[in-house]
Structures are given as C-alpha cells and as structure tokens.
Copies of this chain bind each other. A is one copy, B any other.
Amino acid sequence: MATLGDIGVAATINILTAIIFLLAFAILRIQPFNDRVYFPKWYLKGIRSSPLHSGALVTKFVNVNLGSYLRFLNWMPAALKMPEPELIDHAGLDSAVYLRIYLIGLKIFVPIALLAWSILVPVNWTSDGLQLAKLRNVTSSDIDKLSISNIERGSDRFWTHLVMSYAFTFWTCYVLMKEYEKVAAMRLAFLQNEQRRPDQFTVLVRNVPADPDESISESVEHFFLVNHPDHYLTHQVVYNANDLAALVEQKKSTQNWLDYYQLKYTRNQEHKPRIKTGFLGLWGKKVDAIDHYIAEIEKLNEQILEERKKVKKDDTSVMPAAFVSFKTRWGAAVCAQTQQSSDPTEWLTEWAPEAREVFWSNLAIPYVSLTVRRLIMHIAFFFLTFFFMIPIAFVQTLASIEGIEKYAPFLKSIIEKKLVKSVIQGFLPGIVLKLFLIFLPSILMVMSKFEGFVSLSSLERRAASRYYIFNLVNVFLGSIIAGSAFEQLESFLKQSAKEIPKTVGVAIPIKATFFITYIMVDGWAGIAGEILRLKPLIFFHIKNSLLVKTEKDREEAMNPGQINYHATEPRIQLYFLLGLVYAPVTPVLLPFIIIFFALAYLVFRHQIINVYNQEYESAARFWPDVHGRIISALIISQILLMGLLSTKGAAQSTPFLLVLPILTFFFHRFCKGRYEPAFLRHPLKEAMVKDTLERAREPNFNLKPYLQKAYIHPVFKDNDYEDSRFDEISGYCIEDSDDECVTVPTKRQSRINTPAVSHASRGSSRSPPSK
C-alpha cells in the first residue's frame, strides 16, 4: 500500500505535468499564428478577424510583447468573467448547463469534504484499529490511519459514519433537487425566449402507412388535413439521399486533392505534379494530377446531378416519413404529444429535432425492425461490456513476438532485433487496449446509430448511458475487484445477494490510493492537456500549409470541435461515483476530486467561451440522465458502505443504512415526476403564450414559405448548385405558392447560438446503412 510519501511524489509529477501543459498553452495561445486554433468561436461569430493581416511581418506570426508572457494565467479570471446569461447567449444552453455539472461537483463535495475532515477524519485518526492490527502483522500506511480502516471491529464509532452517510445523502439530494429545479427553469426560459425556429412548428411523422392509391406526400397531406383541420399548414417528405450524400462526400475529398496539387504547383512551378491512378496512388499510369482531378470532379458533378434527378423522380426514394408543419406552436405541441391512429405503429409523431441534428438515414426504419435492432444492440452491448477482453486478448496475442513470427514470418529478421523486440513486448499490448478504449465512444455511437435514433442528441444520450455502464463495470468495479468483467460476473452469480456488497465493500478502502493516483493522472493532467488542443493545433497547421487557398478554406481548416457529451459526461460521472463512495470511507480522497472539478470547470468554461462550437442545441435535454446517474452513484455508495460496515462487526447499524437507498430511490422517483416532464413534453400554455405574443408582434408574417424548405437533406443544400436549380428538381414550390417562394427568409436565424453546420448530419451517409 502506498504511503503519504508515494502519493506526494505522484502528486508532484502530475502537478508538474499539468503546469507544463498550462504553460505551453499560455505561450502558444498568444502567438498570432495559433489564433484560429485557440479562439475559433470568435472567428465563427465574426467578431474576431485574423491578426495576420496587420502589423510587421514578425509580429504577424510571433508574439514579441514580453508583458503578455508574464500574465500567462490571465485566461483563468477571463474565463470566469462572462456571466451565465451571456454565456447562454454566446454558446447555447447545452454548454452552459454542461458546465453546471462541474459546479454541482463543487457544490456537493466542498461541504461534504469540510464535514468529513472536521468530523470523520478526527474520529478515524484517534482510533487505533490499525495499531492493534499491526500487532498481528498487518501492514498499513498513513492514509489508512485517516480512513475507516483504522477503526477497530465492532466499535461504536461506526455510528459516526452512519450519521455522516445520512448527512451526505441529504446534502447531495438537496443540491440535486435545487439544481434540477434550476435547470428545468433555465430550459423553460430558454425555450420561451427563443426566436422563431422551424422546429417549433414542426412534427416528425414516421411510419406513414403505404397507400396503393396515394403517394406518401398526398397521404400525409390528407391525413393531417382531416385530423388537424384547423392547424395543419404544410409538410415536407423525406428523400432517401444516402447515395447522393456519398457522392457529395467523394467530390469534397477529390476537391481537397485538387487544391493540394494546385497549391503545390503554384509554389513550385518547375514541374507539374503527377500521380499514379492505381490503388492508393501506388501503381498504375502516371498522369498529370491537376488535370486528373479536374476531370474527376467534372465526372462526379454529372453523377450528382443525375442522382438528384433520380431521387426526385423515383417514388421509391421517398421514405415513409415526413416533417409536418403547423400554423401554430400549439398545433405542433398537440400533434407531437398525441396518438394519431388506433394502430400505434403507424403515424408515429414526435417533436421534430432541429434541422441540423436530424440523423437522416434512420428516418425510414419500420416499427418491428426497431424492436429487433434494440434487442440486438442490448445483447451486443452486454457482450461488449463483459467479454471485451476476449478480442483484445486475441489481438494482443497476434501483436506479440510469437504471434508476429507465426503469422508474418517474413518480418522475423526485423523483430528479432533487441530494440524492436522490447518495444513490441512492452508497449504493443498496452497500446491495443488503449486504442480500444479511445475508440469505445465511437463504437457505442455506431451502435446507437444502428439502433435507429433519429436525432444526434438522442444518439449521444444513448451512447453516453452505455459508456457510463461500461465505465462502472470495467473501470470502477474492475479496479476494485481485480479481474475481468466476465470473471466478476461469474463470481457475482456464484455469490449470494448479501455477499456481493461485502466483497466489493471490503476492497474499497484498500483501493483508495489507486484511485487518488487515477484522479491525478486522468483528472488533473488530462484536463490540463485538454486546454492545449494538441491535435487540432497540429492538424490546423498541416492543413494550413497544404490545402488552404482562400480565407474560406482557412475557416474550414479551423475545426473548433465541441463538447463530446457522450464521451466526456460519463467520465465526469466516474468522479461523482468515486467521491460519494469514498466520502464516508476515506475522506482523504475528496480534496483531489474537488481540485479536479474546479480545474475542469475553469478549463471547460474557457474552451466553451473561446473554442467549442456545438453542432446542435438540445436545450439541456440531457439533464435527466445526469441527475439519474448521480442518484445511482449515491445508491451504489450506500450499498457498498452497508457491505463494508457489515464486515466490520457493525451489523446493528445495517438496518439504518438499508433505509437510505429506499429513500434515495423514492427521491429520484419524486424528482422524475416533478421535473422530468419539462425535458420531455411541451406544455400547451407556454406554446399558446408564444403564439399569441407573436401574432400580436408580427400579424402579417407569412409562415408557410418560412417552413416550406426548413427540413431539406443537407446534400440538397450544397452551395455549388444554385438554389433555383434545386427548386426545379425538388419541386417543393410547384404546388400552390410560386409567388411565396420568392421571399425565402434566411435560415441563419436558427443558428444564432451555434452557427456550424452539423458535421454528423452532413456526413450521416457514412454511417452503416440502416434500412
């Protein structure tokens, strides 16, 4: 077991690493040529312009103002300065509420830490359970003297831990309830203040039943004209444009290569660049690169045009889904919340997601297929969680010396060299595992896509909850009980319901030092690394030197990134879990967690203000999940404490602990009923208020043309084609409103907070085909 000294050394190393990262960041960010990497948000908002345009040549690239180096930490107060309402305005509610997760961490753990250090630590310290144990040759460290391990078996002092556990639970629940209330109010206020947006009036209808006499479009129109006669306005059918999207994607990458070779040629005009046309440019005929790519693009343009015509003309490319728009928000709220037909698998309505977060390729999945997909993915996730070590171990065998020699004997001479051998033996297995863990969120995202969710936010929420479970089983339980998840499952099945909390509970105090180190490596240094943005920094400079020709290209090379909710939130939850589990057991761990939350809050606040650009805005739709996971962490901590205490001869206190999880669970049920509807449903009163206000403000606004083209597959919006040509092809305006179509309003309004076009929805065609 680690002593205080060991932890001190680890802390020093990690604090140094963190400081190095922060210093590097401080230096890099004030260099003008990195400006677009560290302040992309401001460029996207159009407020900041490139510093490269003005001043002397040197100052254009390197910052020579020495004073600014001295103030290298001044980003911290700057990050805190922006008040929350302005932050919501600047970055959207999702980002602002995401930051509140870190704040909750502070709100929960600072008072708990104070209480624990002023009561629990003295109680633990003044006991002498370990000294008695030492007589029986049990070794222990200084940290254990501060933990519950120091209390002798059957002591009455365990009542302190019991009372403290109640105090911690009540405090956590109190903070959670206040926060849920606050976030729900913020969400409602946000939705109420939002400007007019197409999705407020629109409902997504899926599983439109096939009708032999009518096209999908006619069928939708008739159904809603009959069943929502006073409210129905217009609708847009959904085209299956997955092939088209693939072509557009291909054209974009060809265009990139063309740009690259043109730039190369302008810099070195002596010989024209030539490439081989074969596989990966490795063999085949040598041709002039620029001519080749120009011809390729021309060919693709033609294909795209043809595909567009085909999609439009072919009735089979109309999916049985549509976006139906209503005259009022009230009408849309009614349609989204009610069942339309007596067959609950037809005419399924739900509130339409924002146009940019629609996951187009999933819109046509029929009802039965959805159930089957869900079943398959549940089973797949079960195996992924409990058996993921099997393929990893297999790849690790392949990547071992013997594996390589067996399957690729021609490499034998190389790997027999000492240096190569030690690298393979020492790093490869670890790298294979690390690679898997890095790609895990993406794998889970692909699984969610297969499951058939239709909006990016729901995809991310599902991936996040799976990632959380994976972390819980493999990181938390996996670290406490050494052994793979499958072995745990095996042993849990063999143990009785009473034994499991005991087995885990007993191991908890022992693993405290491990988790302290984990928090420092993953939490402190990792968060400090986040602010450095090493990957975007490198990619920006590579792209900048190879591809960028115009200012627009440079803007595209910027890649501000975003909070990857599905990858980051489950990791924060691990800290909540650690904090709550260790609060009554080893309170020494709490300050480390508090430092993590404080540092992460600072860093992410800075990044959200200056860097990230969210793809979509879900108005904090994810909050019920966050709340639910903290509650489950709380219940896990209570059960484990129960297990631990019952092995410590404090069985008489167990019944009192048994009450806690039950109360916590009902607190959760209460909160769910009280606040969750604000995140799921759409109150009619608020819709009516907004409708009335708007009618009073703009009595003559024509809604129909505004909504008529709001939900178009992004490939149809490609800038290379003039809108007129698309209109001709798509034929949206043919029906009855040729004159209205002239006044198509700008669609920019809907992106007030987060102006980027969604990468995922644009690239949705790359996901596995799901029909």
Contacts and interface: CB of A to CB of B under 8 A. Distances in A.
Contact of A340 (B230, B492, B495, B683): B683
Contact of A496 (B339, B496, B673, B685): B496
A675 B339 CA distance: 13
Contact of A685 (B341, B498, B662, B685): B341
Interface in A665-696: 666, 669-670, 673-678, 681-686, 688
B495 A371 contact: no
A337 B496 CA distance: 45
Contacts of A82: none
Interface string A452-483: 00000000000000000000000000000000
A657 B333 CA distance: 46
A189 B683 CA distance: 31
B339 A684 contact: yes
A683 B492 contact: no
Contact of A379 (B188, B342, B371, B662): B662
A384 B265 CA distance: 86
Interface in A187-209: 188
Given A493-B496, A496-B496, A684 B340 contact: yes
Nearest to A349: B684
Counting every copy of the chain, the complex holds 2
Interface in A345-368: 345, 347, 367-368
Interface string A478-503: 00000000000000111111110000
Interface residues of A, number: 48
A334 interface: yes
B340 A337 contact: no
A338 B371 contact: no
Contacts of A688: 226-227
A375 interface: yes
A212 interface: no
A344 interface: yes
A398 B341 CA distance: 61
A674 B347 CA distance: 13
Contacts of A230: 230
Contact of A338 (B226, B495, B681): B681
Nearest to A490: B498
Contacts of A379: 662
A686 B338 contact: no
Report whether over half of chain A's contact residues are helix, strand or loop; otherwise say mixed.
helix
A334 B684 CA distance: 10
Contact of A227 (B497, B666, B678, B685): B685
Given A493-B498, A496-B495, A498-B494, A673 B344 contact: yes
Given A226-B688, A337-B337, A670-B371, A675 B497 contact: no
Interface in A204-246: 223, 226-228, 230
Contacts of A492: 497
A496 B367 CA distance: 39
Contacts of A340: 683-685
Contact of A666 (B334, B371, B498): B371
Contacts of A334: 334, 338
A502 to B, nearest CB: 12
B338 A684 contact: yes
A686 B345 CA distance: 15
Contacts of A494: 496-498
A678 B379 CA distance: 29
B371 A339 contact: no
Contact of A188 (B342, B367, B495): B342
B337 A677 contact: no
Nearest to A692: B226
Interface string A354-394: 00000000000001100100110001000000000000000
A684 B497 contact: no
Tell me which of A339, A493, A670 has the highest count of chain B C-beta atoms within 10 A of its own C-beta.
A339
Contacts of A677: 339, 344
A228 B334 CA distance: 11
Contacts of A669: 371, 374-375
A673 B344 CA distance: 8
A445 to B, nearest CB: 23
Closest 5 CB pairs of A and B: A344-B677, A339-B681, A337-B338, A342-B683, A375-B666
27 contacts: A226-B685, A227-B685, A334-B334, A337-B338, A338-B338, A339-B681, A339-B684, A340-B683, A341-B683, A341-B685, A341-B686, A342-B683, A342-B686, A344-B673, A344-B677, A344-B681, A345-B673, A368-B670, A371-B666, A374-B669, A375-B666, A375-B669, A493-B497, A493-B498, A494-B497, A496-B499, A497-B497
Interface of A: 188, 223, 226-228, 230, 333-334, 337-342, 344-345, 347, 367-368, 371, 374-375, 379, 492-499, 662, 666, 669-670, 673-678, 681-686, 688
Given A337-B339, A344-B675, A496-B497, 13 more contacts: A227-B684, A333-B338, A334-B334, A338-B681, A338-B684, A341-B683, A344-B673, A344-B674, A344-B676, A371-B669, A493-B496, A494-B498, A495-B497
